[in-house]
Amino acid sequence: MLSYLLKYFYMFMFLSGAWVFVSKRKHLLLMLLSLEFMVISLFMGLMLILSLYSYESYFSMFYLVFSVCEGALGLGILVSMIRSHGNDFFSSFNILMC
97 domain residue, yes or no? no
Kindly give the confidence (pLDDT) of every residue in the chain, 98 residues in length, as a single tens digit, with 9 standing for 90 and above: 777 888 889 899 999 999 999 998 788 888 899 999 999 999 998 888 888 888 887 888 899 999 999 999 999 988 888 888 777 776 665 654 54
pLDDT value, residue 93: 58
Domain CATH for 59: 1.10.287.3510
Domain that holds residue 12: 2-92
**DSSP symbols for 12-59:** HHHHHHHHHHHHTTTBHHHHHHHHHHHHHHHHHHHHHHHHHTT--STH
54 domain residue, yes or no? yes
What are φ and ψ of residue 59, in 5° steps? -65, -30
Provide the 10 A C-beta neighbour count for residue 63.
Answer: 15
98 domain residue, yes or no? no
The three-class DSSP label of residue 63 is helix
18 domain residue, yes or no? yes
Q: What's the predicted TM-score (pTM) here?
A: 0.82
pLDDT value, residue 80: 87
